[in-house]
């Protein structure tokens, strides 16, 4: 069945065509009134229009009708093959006066079939375009989800995605950004009256409760204090209670046991099953990033608490150390006076106790100084005095100041230095502190009769080698470094404990370290001091064989440049 319009000003032809088509399953119309035709086409929308070529002003008539119905098949009945391209470009088929009826009928049938196929194709294309558009919206929305850990932004992206793909009249989103403060977000095409708002609030809370049936709802909602945020597109118009007759969809926003809210959406025209899939997909998609955002928020809060605790701890250590230092100085001075003989001579056991007290005061003041240094470094308040220095002077100073201690323990302390090493840009006092710590550890952990060697050499970062646990520290280094190594033949450190030796307050479990004592701060302080020098510290050790502690300090820029010049010349 199809609608056919035959346009001609020849009564004979109208008669001939009416006879041919009236017996067939077509709705057949004729017209000869040039002025009335556009109106007729607009009202009837024929599937095929047959134009008699002799109709006056046929060119403009075809053009006008094409603009009214672009999909109808246009057939021209003509006695000549001399036709203007302006006409033929709109024509799908031709008929001639001498054609038999059967050929006329089959030409029209083909035209009708083509028109129906075109219509089907355009409907399929439209569906395809709709699906593509939705896929695009879903893709963009999920990309937006992936780009943020802000809960408010995530919920807004979800609503924007729904607006683009479903074009709703109203969405009511109950969002729990924080547990005790639910927010009702209303995104509406038109203004919402106060009465409608009360009804929506009530409905949303009922929807929320219905999700958990008899079980307890995860969060309480007080309808009187429920915060409402409205976004209205066209405030000049107003939504009324008829909204509740609109089509609607509802979805929870949750992932496993985690509940983030729920959303209800209203639209005046019915939602399709594709709409429902799209709606559910977006509501589900937002849940995972909301869960990540919740975890991120928790981690951030925990970090803040930890940072605060760390600050308090540092402040506490700093205050206590300062407070201990004053009485300790007084004790030290008193002991010095006693040992100086100003209060008379002491007998042998008096001398013994006095020197024990002096040793312990020294140890205590070492621990307090370490604590103060660490709290200063951690608070970023450590003072550094960087200058171009010669590493030999650092090694010489430490060697001579600790040689008595080594000798007392029956150890051989030697320095094997490469002479004429380039200068480094460093704080010499801090490097002395690092080296003193390494050498005194070596003295502490090496049994009598053995040797401790201090070595220094120039190396490129790419030549430095360390156990795997220090690889990250070494990978950060580039360029030339002066490397100092303190090698001992002591108790050594097991590979599993190497990294831990640099942790604050760490003391590797062995009988000697417990016996000799210490603050467990020397190595972590050394590590921080070397970081301030853009250098690194690491160690290589074998249990019961000995240890090699290394630290690397960059060669100063000035030295590097003059070295390069030397090579070039
Ligand atoms: P401490 O004041 O306890 O020596 P450190 O931070 O300097 O603190 O050293 C931490 C721990 O590393 C020591 O207690 C010890 O167990 C281990 N250690 C450091 N140097 C050596 C070494 N040369 N030989 C063996 N163990 C060492």
Query: What does the alpha-carbon distance between residue 138 and residue 144 come to, in Å, rounded to a whole number?
Result: 10
pLDDT digits (tens, 9 = 90+) for 394-449: 999 999 999 999 999 999 999 997 888 999 999 999 999 999 999 999 999 999 99
Residue 507 Cβ < 6 Å to ligand 1:
yes
Give 64-119 as a DSSP string: HHHHH-SSSEEEEE-S-S---HHHHTT-SEEE-TT--HHHHHHHHHHHHHHHHHHH
Structure tokens, 566? 């030397």
| Residue 44 parent element (H or E) | helix 37-44
Query: What does the alpha-carbon distance between residue 279 and residue 158 come to, in Å, rounded to a whole number?
Result: 10
Residue among 316, 552, 305, 303 at smallest CA distance from 424? 552
Q: Which CATH architecture describes the domain 384-568? A: 2-Layer Sandwich (3.30)
Q: Count Cβ atoms within 10 A of the Cβ of residue 494 and give its class: 0-12 exposed, 13-18 middle, 19 or more buried.
A: middle
- Nearest Cα residue to atom 12 of ligand 1: 501
Looking only at the bridges linking them, the beta strands covering 424-426 and 387-389 are antiparallel
**278 backbone dihedrals φ, ψ, rounded to 5°:** -60, -45
**485 backbone dihedrals φ, ψ, rounded to 5°:** -125, 135
Angle between the 428-444 and 391-408 helix axes, to the nearest 10 degrees?
30
The predicted structure's pLDDT at residue 34 = 78
The predicted structure's pLDDT at residue 567 = 42
Structure tokens, 327? 């009485």
Residue 489 neighbours by CB distance under 10 Å:
20
Q: Give the CATH superfamily of 2-120.
A: Response regulator (3.40.50.2300)
Query: What does the alpha-carbon distance between residue 193 and residue 519 come to, in Å, rounded to a whole number?
Result: 71
pLDDT digits (tens, 9 = 90+) for 290-307: 999 999 999 999 999 999
Give the three-state DSSP class for 446: coil
Write the CB contacts of 275 (distance below 8 Å, at least 6 apart in sequence).
Answer: 165, 166, 249
Question: How does DSSP classify residue 555?
Answer: B
Maximum Cα–Cα distance across the chain:
153
* Domain locations in the chain as residue ranges: 2-120, 147-285, 297-378, 384-568
Ranges of residues in the chain whose predicted pLDDT is under 70? 179, 509-517, 557-569
Q: Do domains 2-120 and 147-285 have the same CATH topology?
A: no
The predicted structure's pLDDT at residue 315 = 83
Relative to the CA of 445, which ligand 1 atom is closest?
Answer: 24
What is the third-level CATH fold of 147-285? Beta-Lactamase (3.30.450)
Residue 252 Cβ < 6 Å to ligand 1:
no
The predicted structure's pLDDT at residue 219 = 84
Site to probe by mutation for ligand 1, drawn from 520, 524, 550 as the one with most ligand atoms within 8 Å of Cβ, is 520
Query: What does the alpha-carbon distance between residue 223 and residue 178 come to, in Å, rounded to a whole number?
Result: 17
Handedness of CA 88, 90, 93, 95 (dihedral sign): negative
In angstroms, the Cα distances linking 78 to 97, 149, 194, 267, 542 are: 7, 71, 69, 53, 106
Query: What does the alpha-carbon distance between residue 492 and residue 445 come to, in Å, rounded to a whole number?
Result: 8
Give the three-state DSSP class for 174: strand
What is the third-level CATH fold of 297-378? Helix Hairpins (1.10.287)
Using an 8 Å Cβ cutoff, are 502 and 479 in contact? Answer: no
Structure tokens, 195? 């009465």
Residue 506 Cβ < 6 Å to ligand 1:
yes
User: Which residues on adjacent β-strands are paired with residue 389?
Assistant: 424
Residue among 177, 134, 132 at smallest CA distance from 154? 177
CA of 442 relative to ligand 1 center, distance in Å: 8
Site to probe by mutation for ligand 1, drawn from 364, 518, 530, 550 as the one with most ligand atoms within 8 Å of Cβ, is 518
Residue 520 Cβ < 6 Å to ligand 1:
yes
- Nearest Cα residue to atom 20 of ligand 1: 441
């Amino acid at each position: 069945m199809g609608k056919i319009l035959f346009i001609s000003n020849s009564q004979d032809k109208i008669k001939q065509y009416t006879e041919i088509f009236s017996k067939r399953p077509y709705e057949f119309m004729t017209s000869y009134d040039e002025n009335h035709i556009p109106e007729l086409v607009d009202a009837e929308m024929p599937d095929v229009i047959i134009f008699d070529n002799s109709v006056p002003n046929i060119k403009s008539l075809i053009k006008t009708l094409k603009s009214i119905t672009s999909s109808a098949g246009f057939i021209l009945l003509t006695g000549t093959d001399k036709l203007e391209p302006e006409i033929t470009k709109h024509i799908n088929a031709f008929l001639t006066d001498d054609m038999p009826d059967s050929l006329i009928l089959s030409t029209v049938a083909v035209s009708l079939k083509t028109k129906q196929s075109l219509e089907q194709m355009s409907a399929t294309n439209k569906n395809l375009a709709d699906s593509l558009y939705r896929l695009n919206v879903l893709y963009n929305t999920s990309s937006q989800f992936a780009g943020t850990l802000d809960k408010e932004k995530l919920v807004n992206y979800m609503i924007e995605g729904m607006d683009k793909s479903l074009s709703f009249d109203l969405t009511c989103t109950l969002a729990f950004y924080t547990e005790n403060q639910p927010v009702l977000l209303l995104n509406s095409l038109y203004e919402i009256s106060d009465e409608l708002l009360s009804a929506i609030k009530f409905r949303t809370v009922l929807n929320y409760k219905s999700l958990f049936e008899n079980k307890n709802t995860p969060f309480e909602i007080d309808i009187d204090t429920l915060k409402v945020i409205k976004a209205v597109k066209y405030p000049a118009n107003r939504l009324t209670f008829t909204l509740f007759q609109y089509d609607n969809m509802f979805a929870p926003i949750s992932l496993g046991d985690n509940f983030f809210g729920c959303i209800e959406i209203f639209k005046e025209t019915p939602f399709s099953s594709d709409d429902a899939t799209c709606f559910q997909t977006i509501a589900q998609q937002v849940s995972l990033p909301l869960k990540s955002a919740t975890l991120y928020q928790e981690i951030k809060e925990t970090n803040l608490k930890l940072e605060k605790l760390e600050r308090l701890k540092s402040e506490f250590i700093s205050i206590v150390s300062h407070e201990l230092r004053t009485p300790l100085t007084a004790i030290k001075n008193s002991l010095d006076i006693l040992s100086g003989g100003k209060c008379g001579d002491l007998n042998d056991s008096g001398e013994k106790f006095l020197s024990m007290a002096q040793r312990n005061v020294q140890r205590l003041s070492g621990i307090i100084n370490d604590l103060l240094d660490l709290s200063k470094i951690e608070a970023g308040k450590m003072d550094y005095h960087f200058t171009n220095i010669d590493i030999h002077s650092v090694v010489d100073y430490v060697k001579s100041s600790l040689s008595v201690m080594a000798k007392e323990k029956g150890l051989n302390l030697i320095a094997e230095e490469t002479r004429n090493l380039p200068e480094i840009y460093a704080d010499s006092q801090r490097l002395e502190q690092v080296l003193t710590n390494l050498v005194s550890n070596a003295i502490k952990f090496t049994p009598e009769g053995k040797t401790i060697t201090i070595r220094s050499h120039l190396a490129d970062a790419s030549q430095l080698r360390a156990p795997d646990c220090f690889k990250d520290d070494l990978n950060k280094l580039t360029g030339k470094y002066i490397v100092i190594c303190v090698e001992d033949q002591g108790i050594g450190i097991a590979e599993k404990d190497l990294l831990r030796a640099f942790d604050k307050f760490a003391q590797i479990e062995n009988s000697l370290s417990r016996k000799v004592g210490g603050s467990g701060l020397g190595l972590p302080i050394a590590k921080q001091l070397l970081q301030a020098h853009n250098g690194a510290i690491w160690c290589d050790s074998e249990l019961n064989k000995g240890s090699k502690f290394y630290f690397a300090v960059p060669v100063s820029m000035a030295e590097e440049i003059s070295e390069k010049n030397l090579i070039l010349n």
